């Protein structure tokens, strides 16, 4: 048995959480492989909205194991809050949630460093979620980090103090006031909650289950265009959000990857700073933001909106080896007379290019095809057969241009508003 993957192909917020929830019934284990509480995977069913930051999106299904992999960074305070919210709505977490011993911990001082660093950048800030993600990954690669497995060691407090003192020295370089004591008290109290769950050698656990024929779905966070290597650097996250990130974030070999499900919106959005060639600052962009409720699930910040970008999407498909596509939020385009699709760019020398170059990403001019829109409210349909011809034309157009089958169409936030092709 091999592992399937689900990941975002744009700048995050594509709707990965919903699709993981929809597909979980076909799998035994859901494993999150990177990122941290900068993620906000939103699920809506039975009229209730749920937002998950650290916990895999399969947690609402009975008899399914959810694994937080070694590539994830965990803030115990945010983790504790997630656990309490899930318990409040009756989710039974016992024997369903396992945590890798090798996952790194976000300390209170990581968050303070993140905030101080972003504040010092002024107008050149990168749009950090201020959750301490970047500084935690820096300590991971710098071989200074604290890991989940450390919480059970006799010298855990000693390790904590050593790393905290290093951070306090770093904070002296910033003009930044902070109160650490209150954050520390909450953090250590939250560690007690973290210790209640099963800590595992996750790579061995996953290998064992694969060998037993169990079906595993790997869940990514953020999106391909936020990847630390292949995203719009430096306006990126601090981990590898692509297929290769599952190999290092779960300890699975490349030849164990089977299907790669790529999630994208029927248009584009981006939170924070950075290049966005097809961004709309007009009434159409306002329409997308309003109808699509485009506000970050983690930060609450308004998302920038724009037309779909085929060069960027092809780039993401190639980097990830996507085998199936899933288009989200098609309903948001309802009411638009014309829909534009970016087919290529013009650079500053007026040369035509059909890929994302290293340089001058912010100076690219998009060139568009124009397709007929539709008036019908897609949130009201109960099957794709009820969708207007123009919807099918749009899907067929994208499928032909991208040369990968589009297998799922989503027309609303609820589980039931998800159609298979």
Active site residue 21: no
Cis preceding-peptide flag for 234 (omega within 30 of 0): yes
Q: Count the neighbouring beta carbons within 10 Å of the beta carbon of residue 399.
A: 16
287 carries an active-site annotation: no
CA dist., res. 103 & res. 101, Å (int): 6
Q: At what angle do helices 108-120 and 180-194 cross, to 10 degrees?
A: 130
- φ, ψ (nearest 5 deg) of residue 125: -60, 150
Residues 89 and 49: beta-carbon distance below 8 Å: no
Rounded CA gap, 212 and 62, in Å? 20
Which of 4, 13, 21, 309 is the catalytic position?
A: 13
Radius of gyration of the chain (CA): 21
For the four alpha carbons of 103, 108, 111 and 112, in that order, the dihedral sign comes to negative
Cβ neighbours around 413 below 10 Å, total: 20
DSSP bridge partners of 44: 49, 414
- Greatest CA separation for the chain: 66
Close Cβ partners of 37 (under 8 Å, ≥ 6 residues apart): 53, 54, 74, 75, 78, 79, 106, 129, 131, 133, 298
8 A C-beta contact, residue 56 and residue 30: yes
Give the helix ranges, DSSP H, for 97-236. Answer: 108-120, 133-141, 156-171, 180-194, 202-211
Q: Which of 4, 21, 41, 309 is catalytic?
A: 41
CA distance 23 to 58: 9
Annotate 212-243 with DSSP letters as a single string.
TT--EEEE--S-GGG-TTTSSTTSS-SS--SH
Alpha helices per DSSP H over 48-96? 76-88
Distance between CA atoms of residues 35 and 240, nearest Å: 8
Measured distance CA(384)–CA(331) in Å, rounded = 12
Cβ-based neighbour number of residue 142 at 10 Å: 10
List the catalytic residues: 13, 41
């Amino acid at each position: 048995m091999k592992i399937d993957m689900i990941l975002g192909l744009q700048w995050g917020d594509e709707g990965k959480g919903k699709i993981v929830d929809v597909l979980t019934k076909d799998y035994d284990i859901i494993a999150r492989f990177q990122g941290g509480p900068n993620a906000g995977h939103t699920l809506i069913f039975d009229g209730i909205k749920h937002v998950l930051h650290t916990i895999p999106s399969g947690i609402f299904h009975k008899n399914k194991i959810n694994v937080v992999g070694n590539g994830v960074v965990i803030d115990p305070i945010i983790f504790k809050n997630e656990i309490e919210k899930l318990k409040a709505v009756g989710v039974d977490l016992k024997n369903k949630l396992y945590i890798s011993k090798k996952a790194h911990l976000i300390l209170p001082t990581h968050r303070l460093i993140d905030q101080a660093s972003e504040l010092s950048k002024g107008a050149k800030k990168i749009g950090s979620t201020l959750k301490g993600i970047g500084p935690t990954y820096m300590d991971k690669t710098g071989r200074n980090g604290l890991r989940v497995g450390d919480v059970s060691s006799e010298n855990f407090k000693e390790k904590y103090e050593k790393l905290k003192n290093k951070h306090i020295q770093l904070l002296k370089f910033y003009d930044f006031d902070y109160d650490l004591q209150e954050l520390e008290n909450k953090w250590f109290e939250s560690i007690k909650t973290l210790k209640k769950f099963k800590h595992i050698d996750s790579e061995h656990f996953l290998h064992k289950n694969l060998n037993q024929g169990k079906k595993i779905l790997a869940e990514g966070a953020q999106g391909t265009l936020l990847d630390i290597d292949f995203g719009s650097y430096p306006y990126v996250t601090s981990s590898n959000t692509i297929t290769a990130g599952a190999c290092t974030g779960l300890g699975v070999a490349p030849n164990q990857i089977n299907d790669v499900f790529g999630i994208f919106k029927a248009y584009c959005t981006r939170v924070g700073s950075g290049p966005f060639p097809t961004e709309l600052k007009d009434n159409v962009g306002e329409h997308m933001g309003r109808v699509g409720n485009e506000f970050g699930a983690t930060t609450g910040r308004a998302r920038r909106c724009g037309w779909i970008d085929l060069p960027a999407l092809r780039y993401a498909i190639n980097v990830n080896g996507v085998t199936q596509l899933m288009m989200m939020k098609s309903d948001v385009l309802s009411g638009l007379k014309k829909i534009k699709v970016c087919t290529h760019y013009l650079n500053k020398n007026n040369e035509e290019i059909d890929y994302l170059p290293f340089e001058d990403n912010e100076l690219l001019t998009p060139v568009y095809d124009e397709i007929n829109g539709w008036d019908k409210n897609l949130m009201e349909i109960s099957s794709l057969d009820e969708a207007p011809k123009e919807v099918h034309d749009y899907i067929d157009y994208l499928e032909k241009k991208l040369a990968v089958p589009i297998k799922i169409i989503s027309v609303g936030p609820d589980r039931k508003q998800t159609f298979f092709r």
